[in-house]
Amino acid sequence: MAAEQTPARPGTMREHRRIGRTLFADYGGPAVSVTLLTPGIARIRFAPSGAFAPRRSWSPVPPDDDFDEPPVSGTTTADGAVEIGSTGLTVRLEPAAGRVTVLDPATGRVLLSDGPDGGPAWDPDGSALTWTRRMPADQHYFGLGERTGPLDKRGRRHTFWNTDRFSGHCPGTDELYKSIPFYLAMDEAGRCHGLYLNNTYRSVFDLTDERGERLVIACDGGELDQYVIAGPHPGDVVGRYTSVTGRMPLPPRWALGYHHSRWGYETEKQIREVAARLRADGIPADAVYLDIEALDEYRNFTWDRKRFPDPAGLVRDLAAQGLQTVLLVDVGIKYQPEGGYRPFTEGAERGYFLSDSGGRLLLRYVWPGLCAFPDFLRPDVRDWWGHLHDELLATGIHSFVNDMNEPSMRDRPIYEPGARPVDPPPDTPHGPPDERTTHAEVHNVYANAENVATRGAIIRHRPGERPFLLSRAGFAGLQRDAATWTGDNASYWEELELSLPQLLTLGLCGAAFAGADIGGFYADAGPELLARWYQLGAFYPLARAHNAKGCSDQEPWVWGERIEAVCRRALELRYRLLPYLYTVFADASRTGAPVLRPLLYHYGDDESARLRDDQALLGRDLMVAPVLRPGRRTREVYLPEGRWYDLRTGAAADGRASVLADAPLEGELPVYARGGAVIPFGPVRRWVDEGPLDPLTLRVFPDADNAAEGVLYEDDGVGVTGPSATTRYAYRGGTVTARRDGDFAPARRAVRVEVPGRPERVLDEDPGDWELSP
Ligand code: GLC
């Protein structure tokens, strides 16, 4: 960025003033402002002109006034610095160059500082901005959106620009489909803070200067608008980050089941056959996907009636088997000036599509050929887009995939040799008249805006129900409207391995409901890889298999009964764990906590756990140790602090130690329950809501003090505001107690209680509150 070559910097602080929770400092024109949004979140903005921009309607963050004013104090120090702070953070504006230091008021520990040559700078001839900070040797940086590579993001440059990376997700890959400019920093004692760059332009976090210990944040335009977030625990940071950018709403319960997808199922008949096979073979499943083959010449909002003669009948028949139908929608609308295709005609007549700065319709290639692109930043366009879904919704389809929404486009027909991915020109106008801007500013939030439209349409059609929407692209805050997947991965062991740190990273960035295509999208999965992928994929927050057209089949049954049994068993374990998983999701929707968590989330002070990315925690109480390499039948598993139980055998082992676990292909992965947990299990189901949770099995895993606790969250599985119940279980001195709060009444059921080394106890009827003595 030009600002790195010829940077201008703020001068000396001329004056400062505090208004309520905000401190302004003038550096001879350029200005820095600090607003304490909450006791632990400080918004620090830098504007070279001294004028701060108004909030955009598409901003992922709420207006400052939405946050109740926290207690704020301020002082001026002897060296001319000015401080403003609350109970969780103190921000010090240094007297020179707009430099900022952020401290923990409780301990005086420095969380962030700019160093002697750092601070904000800008390109006097352009709009690029940078902020240079210290990157202490003992700091690890996690998050930064959708990334390849290990958990710790030090040592690499991370660009935020939504990109359709349709081939090759490898260590050298930079931009991917999503941009989430947020990091969680952790020192070697496990103490954390976070930083979110609230800027939708192309931006970069450069963590390559390990020698100079400098971290550079750069953006192409807008303001350097940063939310600095207090810890000290990862959960504090992620909780605060998601209090700003939003949390995943609780999905409908069925969406926690297995989703079966493939691009390349050509006909309704084939979809019916696949569904029948899933059921005949006892593969638990809750959703089947319709990809672009179902459309007439790949045009959105149409059906290929020859191949899909009766979509409503299909949806109905699938629903009768407990399967939801999920339909893929792309953002490109086929250019059809001759008429006969309402979405194009209407969109063009009303001026809803993007035009270039010269006023010519912006046309690029997507699957159907030349396409026009809706301007989702405009509320009227979003409203129209929502209504384009009306007929689909009337067909019974109420779950969608928003695909190709980076937006992805090529300069020539997709299959023509040499076709290249392109972006709209940066000066392409966007947005409503009162907020007119350019593509450069809104490229990264294009998908978020589309998701708002789609989600709104689903909710309008089915008020009171939780929608399911899956989006490939997104910016910070994506989780509010959609689940997400990691795009077009490929069937390689390396990409199986990569999926774990990638999903753990997304989880830290608020995207709690995420998955990678099980089996790999491109390329051909052999039997062992496929089996291992189902085993791990059953632990992804979103368990969706997907495969590309033209690649070899990878349904669970393609390699015969032996491999199919492994896949089935993996999914059966997921379904048995649903009471626990749903409780984890409910907690995530309230707190922003990741569903699938890196070990550092709970064991950041343990050096052996901190950077582990080949194991993961599902919620707090389960830890999965997948097999990520061919031919392995055992694996080393690191058990953090405490006692851990092998879920398969019940055998206990004490932590801060590694064990060598059996991991035969034909079995279940090594999965461990945390000592101190009570984990609720249900019966195997063909689909999530096939029947009531009966029997409920409580597996008790005592800690070293022979105690354990657990929670079960329940509701009707779909309603937004309906009744719910939370039951807390405790095990102490051999006695198990249950206490239920809430107004949801589960169906009559039996409860089984399993405590290691004791005979199973059964309550024929679960009264909600109960006690079982030894
Ligand atoms: C994109 C999507 C993929 C989909 C395909 C065809 O590659 O990422 O999931 O199957 O388009 O629609």
Asked if residues 325 and 295 have their Cβ atoms less than 8 Å apart, the reply is no
Asked if residues 751 and 766 have their Cβ atoms less than 8 Å apart, the reply is yes
Peptide bond preceding 695 in cis form (omega within 30 of 0): yes
pLDDT band, residue 168 (cuts 50/70/90) = confident
Residue nearest to atom 4 of ligand 1 (CA): 263
Asked if residues 216 and 195 have their Cβ atoms less than 8 Å apart, the reply is no
d(CA 383, CA 389): 10
Q: Which residue is listed with tokens 């390349």?
A: 264
Q: What is the pLDDT of residue 46?
A: 97
Q: What is the pLDDT of residues 79-93, one digit of tens each?
A: 899 999 999 999 999
> What is the rounded average pLDDT of the residues 518-546?
98
φ, ψ of residue 530 to 5 degrees: the values are -60, -45
> What percent of the chain lies above the pLDDT cut of 90?
97
Short-list 519, 492, 487, 526, CA closest to 503: 487
Q: What is the pLDDT of residues 29-50, one digit of tens each?
A: 999 999 999 999 999 999 999 9
CA of 547 to the centre of ligand 1 (A): 9
Element spanning 711, H or E: strand 707-715
Q: Which residue is listed with tokens 């392409």?
A: 428
CA of 263 to the centre of ligand 1 (A): 7
Alpha-carbon Rg for the chain, nearest whole angstrom, is 26
Task: Specify the ligand 1 atom closest to the Cα of 261.
Answer: 10
Catalytic residue, candidates 123, 375, 403, 572: 403
Burial tier of 237 (Cβ tally within 10 Å: 0-12, 13-18, 19+): buried
To test the pocket of ligand 1, the residue of 521, 546, 554 to mutate (highest count of ligand atoms within 8 Å of its CB) is: 521
What is the pairing mode between strands 324-330 and 287-290? parallel
Task: Specify the ligand 1 atom closest to the Cα of 404.
Answer: 1
d(CA 24, CA 32): 6
CA distances from 325 to 288, 289, 322, 638 (A): 5, 6, 10, 40
d(CA 477, CA 248): 9
d(CA 23, CA 82): 9
Task: Specify the ligand 1 atom closest to the Cα of 487.
Answer: 8
Catalytic residue, candidates 450, 488, 572, 613: 488
Domains and CATH numbers, the chain: 253-331+396-414+426-591 (3.20.20.80), 692-772 (no CATH)
Task: Specify the ligand 1 atom closest to the Cα of 488.
Answer: 8
Q: Could you tell me which residues come within 8 angstroms of residue 101 by beta carbon, excluding any fewer than 6 positions away?
A: 81, 91, 92, 94, 110, 112, 113, 114
CA of 646 to the centre of ligand 1 (A): 38
Active site annotation includes 403: yes
> What is the rounded average pLDDT of the residues 322-334?
98
Peptide bond preceding 284 in cis form (omega within 30 of 0): no
Furthest C-alpha separation in the chain: 80
Element spanning 442, H or E: helix 439-442
pLDDT band, residue 5 (cuts 50/70/90) = low
Label residue 530 left, alpha or beta by phi (over 0 means left) and psi (-120 to 50 means alpha): alpha
d(CA 606, CA 386): 48
Task: Specify the ligand 1 atom closest to the Cα of 472.
Answer: 8
Q: What is the pLDDT of residue 3?
A: 40
Residue nearest to atom 7 of ligand 1 (CA): 488
Q: How far apart are the first and last CA of the chain?
A: 69
Q: What is the pLDDT of residue 527?
A: 98
d(CA 720, CA 252): 9
To test the pocket of ligand 1, the residue of 146, 288, 291 to mutate (highest count of ligand atoms within 8 Å of its CB) is: 291
- Give residue ranges with CB within 6 A of ligand 1: 166, 263, 291-292, 328, 403, 472, 487-488, 546
CA of 204 to the centre of ligand 1 (A): 27
Task: Specify the ligand 1 atom closest to the Cα of 292.
Answer: 12
Distance of CA 766 to the CA centre of its chain: 36
Asked if residues 506 and 514 have their Cβ atoms less than 8 Å apart, the reply is yes
3-state helix/strand/coil string of 603-648? HCCCHHHHCCCCCEEECCCEEECCCCCCCCCEEEEEECCCEEEECC
Task: Specify the ligand 1 atom closest to the Cα of 328.
Answer: 12
Burial tier of 161 (Cβ tally within 10 Å: 0-12, 13-18, 19+): middle
d(CA 180, CA 238): 13
Asked if residues 663 and 627 have their Cβ atoms less than 8 Å apart, the reply is yes
What is the pairing mode between strands 596-597 and 616-618? antiparallel
The DSSP secondary structure of 448-504, one letter per residue, reads HHHHHHHHHHHHHHSTTB--EEEES-EETTGGGT-EEE--S-BSSHHHHHHHHHHHH
Amino acid symbol at 317:
D
To test the pocket of ligand 1, the residue of 169, 327, 404 to mutate (highest count of ligand atoms within 8 Å of its CB) is: 404
Let me know the angle formed at the C-alpha of 759 by 754 and 761, rounded to the nearest 5 degrees: 60
d(CA 754, CA 699): 5
Distance of CA 186 to the CA centre of its chain: 20
Label residue 646 left, alpha or beta by phi (over 0 means left) and psi (-120 to 50 means alpha): beta
Q: What is the pLDDT of residues 413-455, one digit of tens each?
A: 999 999 999 999 999 999 999 999 999 999 999 999 999 999 9
CA of 330 to the centre of ligand 1 (A): 9
How many residues are present in the chain? 774
Q: What is the pLDDT of residues 672-694, one digit of tens each?
A: 999 999 999 999 999 999 999 99
CA of 384 to the centre of ligand 1 (A): 24
Q: Which residue is listed with tokens 């001839």?
A: 125
Catalytic residue, candidates 268, 286, 406, 481: 406
CA of 521 to the centre of ligand 1 (A): 9
To test the pocket of ligand 1, the residue of 403, 405, 544 to mutate (highest count of ligand atoms within 8 Å of its CB) is: 403
CA of 425 to the centre of ligand 1 (A): 24
Q: What is the pLDDT of residue 1?
A: 43
What is the pairing mode between strands 735-742 and 707-715? unpaired
CA of 578 to the centre of ligand 1 (A): 28
Task: Specify the ligand 1 atom closest to the Cα of 263.
Answer: 10
φ, ψ of residue 43 to 5 degrees: the values are -100, 120
CA of 386 to the centre of ligand 1 (A): 21
Short-list 17, 19, 31, 36, CA closest to 91: 36
Burial tier of 18 (Cβ tally within 10 Å: 0-12, 13-18, 19+): middle
Query: What is the signed CA dihedral for 108, 113, 117, 119, rounded to 10 degrees?
Result: -130
To test the pocket of ligand 1, the residue of 304, 488, 544 to mutate (highest count of ligand atoms within 8 Å of its CB) is: 488
Q: What is the pLDDT of residues 366-402, one digit of tens each?
A: 999 999 999 999 999 999 999 999 999 999 999 999 9
Q: What is the pLDDT of residue 635?
A: 98
Q: What is the rounded average pLDDT for all residues in the chain?
A: 97
φ, ψ of residue 505 to 5 degrees: the values are -65, -45
d(CA 642, CA 644): 7
3-state helix/strand/coil string of 99-135? CEEEECCCCCCEEEECCCCCEEEECCCCCCEEEEEEC
Question: How many C-beta atoms surround the C-beta of residue 719 within 10 A?
Answer: 14
CA of 472 to the centre of ligand 1 (A): 9
Query: What is the signed CA dihedral for 507, 511, 515, 517, rounded to 10 degrees?
Result: -120
Burial tier of 356 (Cβ tally within 10 Å: 0-12, 13-18, 19+): middle
Task: Specify the ligand 1 atom closest to the Cα of 291.
Answer: 12
Asked if residues 499 and 486 have their Cβ atoms less than 8 Å apart, the reply is yes
To test the pocket of ligand 1, the residue of 263, 304, 409 to mutate (highest count of ligand atoms within 8 Å of its CB) is: 263
Residue nearest to atom 3 of ligand 1 (CA): 488
> In the structure, how many helices (H) and strands (E) does the chain have?
15, 51
φ, ψ of residue 395 to 5 degrees: the values are -70, -15
Active site annotation includes 406: yes
CA of 546 to the centre of ligand 1 (A): 9
Residue nearest to atom 10 of ligand 1 (CA): 263
pLDDT band, residue 77 (cuts 50/70/90) = confident
Long-range contacts at 438-443 (CB < 8 A, ≥ 24 apart):
439/354, 440/201, 440/202, 440/220, 440/221, 441/200, 441/201, 441/221, 441/222, 442/58, 442/200, 442/377, 443/161, 443/162, 443/200, 443/202, 443/406, 443/407
> What is the rounded average pLDDT of the residues 243-262?
98
> What is the rounded average pLDDT of the residues 716-730?
97
Asked if residues 299 and 334 have their Cβ atoms less than 8 Å apart, the reply is yes
Q: What is the pLDDT of residue 2?
A: 41
Residue nearest to atom 5 of ligand 1 (CA): 263
At residue 288, the 3 state secondary structure works out as strand
CA distances from 84 to 35, 52, 72, 358, 429 (A): 9, 19, 7, 47, 39
Q: Which residue is listed with tokens 């077009």?
A: 488
Asked if residues 519 and 530 have their Cβ atoms less than 8 Å apart, the reply is yes
